[in-house]
Amino acid sequence: MRKIMFLLMLFAWSFIISPTPIAEASSTEFQKSVIVKYPTETSKQIIIQNADAVIEEFEHLPMVAVKISNERLKNLKSEGHIEFYEENQQFTLQNQFKVANLSSAELERWNLKAMDVQNGWSHGYTGKGVKIAIIDSGVANHSDLTIAGGKSFVGESYDDDHGHGTHVAGIIAGKHNGVGVAGVAPNADVYAVKAIKSDGVGDVRVVLQAIDWAIDNHMDIINLSFGDLEYAKSLHEGIKKASEHGLLIVAASGNEGNDNGTGNTINYPARHEEVISVTSINRYFKRSSFSGTGDTNDFAAPGEEIYSTYLNGQYATYNGTSMATPHITGMLALLMEQYPYATPTELREGLRYIAEDLGDVGLDALYGYGLPKYRLPNFQVVEGFLNSGLSAEALNKKIDSMPDSIEKLALKNEQNKAEQTVIKEIDQLLGTLEKEPTEQLWNELQALLAKLVAADVKEQKQKEADAVIERLLEPATNAVRTFTKNKTVYNYKKAEVELNKLPSLNKKKDLEETLNVALKEFAKNAIDSLAQFEKNPTKNQYSYTNFSINSLPDSKIKTELLEKLAKQVQTAVKTAKTNIAAYEKVQTLKNYNKAVKAIQSVFDEKQRELLEKRIQKTVNNNTAKAKTRVANYEKKKTKANRNLAMKLVQELPNGKEKQQLLKRLK
């Protein structure tokens, strides 16, 4: 009984002394280390602010790895700041290997002969210039390997301390130096991207870091000789982003297969459509019993008894789809060098064109499309197409309709090459156009854009051209907007100067129309004044109208208004000239007064001055004649002389001089 009581007391005491440990356990129990995909940069910052710790931010992937409480995670998801989240997953390399020393010559390996890669080497194609990221356990220093660079995400160095990554590297790029092993693409630039630790264990988060690095460093191909049967959405997102950036991703189908080849046993990420999935065959071109099977298998490659580089300067023989994968990676590098203008999609299709069917006809679950074997195109066929004289668009349609073949890939490459030449010219022209937007350059740009065949490329380049035009239009747009708000001569001239800098564009025409509408509003006072003058042509109205019109900026509207005003003036001038001519013909006071009245209706000072000078000339002549007749009368005062003189004097304009002459005749 005493023992029972002691145990009960001890049990009760445990509740008293244990609250703090339980609370600590509770605070950590609901924290998760997760990979989160966010929809926007703003959401990313909100996630980071709410996280207990940020484990990793990615440069090109819209994801972040954080440590965060379960409650906050759910809240952020419900608020739309998280598209999805998942816990980090681990995977383990699967392989069978043994250190080996084979005596056969490096170029005589069965796996190399199986793929006829010597055909590429003999024509100078060795993968030169192609950048390959081997995301694996690193690559060890080896006399048969040259590593272009790399990065470790599981330690300080990308040096291999497992052996798997070094073996993969030798299959891809082992030197052709007469000893050891020969790689499929010996001159490819291979990068050791270490994401798997020495025990062969890796995880999704670290692989995402490696993929992010590959994107950032402009790799051409990623080799993933590992995988897992478990689906990781975050890894798929990383794969999709790499594919969007134009990287080819090659992955092992996995060693989860069975002897019967039944079921879908392909690993992730090889199952994804963005990935080229590789299954393994033996030297008899039969599927390896361990090789993964399923509808997403793409190609088969040698994966048994594969001799390649290993740790400590040694060589080893491995079995596995991990070994089959780098064969396809190397083959892609050869094709990429030979067809540098082919798109990733076209290169992937190119593998299909050269694949030897091994299983059921066409694509099958055991071998995919079969085993790619390096083959050169029939150059006569290629040249025949290129020299057909067809337009680029017609040639494109003809190539698309031709049967799948390596010649088709070669033609696509040549077509893309021509397209790239046009694209380069467009890019150069866009740069020049932005600095010097002339009509000629604009017309040249339109002609180049019309030459593009690929719809997506054409659309992209048109967008770039539109962006340049928008930047060119911005000063003119702002100037027109300023004039519409503040209608001054200076603002109009500024807008006109900016518009005159632009080539012929639809948007330029729209701006010109907007400017013209605003100018009409600005000219309304002058227009109304002219209309008033036409109805009531007074001197004051003329002066005001003339001032209003000349206050406008030089423009079509101003010219039109001045022409209308000038027409009114010319009508008055014409009338005055007619009356002056009548006076000149019949020099009577009545005709004079009529002419003077007509001259007074001419409100243009210059025109009136000319008319006044003309009539004054006649007046002066008549006055001189009258003075002569008056002088004659004064010398010989006869009635006849007086009548002659009086007749001339009376027809003179009224004035002081006329009065003086009349006094002399009294």
3-state secondary structure of 288: coil
Give the list of residues 6+ apart from residue 398 with CB closer than 8 angstroms, or none. 385, 388, 390
Pick left, alpha or beta for residue 530 (phi over 0 → left; psi -120 to 50 → alpha; otherwise beta). Answer: alpha
- 136 noted as active-site residue: yes
Element holding 468 (H helix, E strand): helix 455-485
The Cα-based distances of 230 to 31, 77, 91, 262 in angstroms read 23, 23, 9, 18
Other Cβ atoms less than 10 A from the Cβ of 148: the count is: 12
Query: What are the tokens at 656?
Result: 């002081």
Q: Smallest Cα–Cα separation from 329: which of 289, 375, 380, 278?
A: 278
Answer yes or no: are the C-beta atoms of 614 and 581 closer than 8 Å.
no
Cα first-last separation, the chain: 173
Q: Smallest Cα–Cα separation from 624: which of 656, 661, 654, 659?
A: 661
The Cα-based distances of 443 to 147, 149, 368, 504, 642 in angstroms read 49, 46, 50, 9, 86
Q: Considering the candidates 81, 142, 162, 164, report the single residue annotated as catalytic.
A: 164
Strand stretches in 47-155, DSSP E: 53-57, 63-69, 84-87, 90-92, 96-99, 131-136, 147-152
Q: Considering the candidates 137, 253, 308, 322, report the single residue annotated as catalytic.
A: 322
Neighbouring-strand partners of residue 303 = none
d(CA 232, CA 239) in angstroms, rounded, equals 11
The C-alpha angle with vertex 27 and arms to 24 and 31, in degrees rounded to 5, equals: 135
Q: Which residues of 552-591 are buried (b: 16+ CB within 10 A; e: fewer)?
A: bbebebbeebbebbeebbeebbebbbebbebbeeebeeeb
Strand stretches in 198-323, DSSP E: 201-203, 221-224, 248-252, 275-281, 299-302, 306-309, 315-319
Answer yes or no: are the C-beta atoms of 272 and 312 closer than 8 Å.
no
The Cα-based distances of 387 to 79, 384, 395 in angstroms read 60, 5, 10
User: How many Cα atoms occupy the beta-carbon half-sphere of 480 within 13 Å?
Assistant: 21
Query: What are the tokens at 110?
Result: 């069965």
Give the list of residues 6+ apart from residue 82 with CB closer than 8 angstroms, or none. 36, 37, 38, 43, 47, 73, 76
Neighbouring-strand partners of residue 363 = none
The separation between CA 643 and the C-alpha centre of its own chain, rounded to angstroms, equals 100
Give the list of residues 6+ apart from residue 15 with CB closer than 8 angstroms, or none. none
Answer yes or no: are the C-beta atoms of 343 and 328 closer than 8 Å.
no
Answer yes or no: are the C-beta atoms of 657 and 623 closer than 8 Å.
yes
Query: What are the tokens at 229?
Result: 């049967």
Strand stretches in 93-220, DSSP E: 96-99, 131-136, 147-152, 189-194, 201-203
Q: Considering the candidates 136, 159, 161, 604, report the single residue annotated as catalytic.
A: 136
Neighbouring-strand partners of residue 12 = none
- 164 noted as active-site residue: yes
Q: Smallest Cα–Cα separation from 514: which of 537, 496, 490?
A: 496
Query: What are the tokens at 619?
Result: 């007046």
- 142 noted as active-site residue: no
- Taken as a whole, the chain contains a residue count of 666
d(CA 309, CA 593) in angstroms, rounded, equals 121
Sign of CA dihedral 157, 159, 164, 170: positive
The separation between CA 55 and the C-alpha centre of its own chain, rounded to angstroms, equals 33
Query: What are the tokens at 298?
Result: 């793409």
Q: Which residues are part of the catalytic machinery?
A: 136, 164, 322
